[in-house]
Amino acid sequence: MRVLILSDIHSNLTAFEAVLSDAGHFEKTICLGDVVGYGPDPEECVRLLLGLPNLVCIMGNHDAAVLNVISTGHFNPEARKALHQQKNLMSDEALEFLASLPEKLTFGDLTLAHGSPRDPIWEYVDKGRIAWEVFEYFETQGTLVGHTHTPCIFIESEDFKMRLLKPKSGDRWIPKERFILNPGSVGQPRDHDPRASYVIWDTEENSFLFKRVHYNISEVANRIQQRGIPSLQAKRLSLGR
């Protein structure tokens, strides 16, 4: 079975559509949260996500904030303004979908959390020390996370050392030890590569294929400005940070 793994769509419909076009056929979808936030198309991204096959989705910090589950005071001023504007762009049905999302799930031998199993909404797994501590909070072989907007894999090796992989587009990886995998961000990558990022998981061979795809950034930037979202969210798209 081919499973599409994506995270941090961040209301970027153009990037989301480019990912779906590039991914081809898949039988299941795993979304690791932050469907909304930053971009111009929160309603459209929720509706597109809901149409994907066999969807499994968890809540991210921006999803929680647009629902007032957590305070927008935790966000920087530009992100906060974007969230307030986005709520006005969303239907009750879209908000109800976000409200239905769990913070953490176990899916087979994988734990799913936007931040980490220890702190599903907020923790950034961006350092080996943090990854090492997080391994104590799940009992599965692997964890899939988002939040950092950077594709990477933390691996707990047999000699009790932490290895960090930073896969490039087209790299295929098969796990042997315990791991924490981040597919990167669809809508706002932050590894200085502006292309949308996602992963295809082949469950038969248990391989994870990392992919990047170009999309029309200027089109998204124009919509951000038209919808009254802070212009910083438009500028950073082309920088990949």
Going by their DSSP bridges, the two strands 55-57 and 28-31 should be labelled as: parallel
Long-range (24+ apart) CB contacts under 8 A made by 228-233 are 228/85, 229/38, 229/39, 229/40, 229/81, 229/82, 229/85, 229/86, 230/77, 230/78, 230/81, 230/82, 232/78, 233/38, 233/39, 233/78, 233/82, 233/188
The CATH number of the domain where 51 resides is what?
3.60.21.10
Number of domains in the chain: 1
Q: Give a yes or no: residue 202 inside a domain.
A: yes
Cα distance between residue 137 and residue 6, in whole Å: 22
Q: Give a yes or no: residue 91 inside a domain.
A: yes
pLDDT on residue 147:
97
Domain residues for 67?
2-102+166-177+184-235
pLDDT on residue 120:
96
pTM over 0.85: yes
Q: Where are the beta strands (DSSP E) in 41-183?
A: 55-57, 104-107, 110-113, 142-144, 152-156, 162-165, 172-173, 178-182
Q: Give a yes or no: residue 119 inside a domain.
A: no
pLDDT on residue 160:
66
Contact 29, 224 (CB under 8 A): no
- pLDDT (tens place) for every residue of the chain, 241 residues total: 999 999 999 999 999 999 999 999 999 999 999 999 999 999 999 999 999 999 999 999 999 999 988 777 777 787 887 787 888 889 999 999 999 999 999 999 999 999 999 999 999 999 989 999 999 888 899 999 999 999 999 998 777 678 999 999 999 999 999 999 999 999 999 999 999 999 999 999 999 999 999 999 999 999 998 988 888 888 899 888 8
Helix locations, 60-164, DSSP H: 61-66, 77-87, 92-99, 128-134
pLDDT on residue 158:
72
Element (H, E) at 211: strand 207-213
The dihedral through the CA atoms of 132, 37, 8, 140 has a sign that is positive
Q: Give a yes or no: residue 113 inside a domain.
A: no
Q: Give a yes or no: residue 137 inside a domain.
A: no
DSSP 33: S
Angle, nearest 10°, between helix axes 42-50 and 92-99?
A: 60
Q: Give a yes or no: residue 28 inside a domain.
A: yes
pLDDT on residue 150:
97
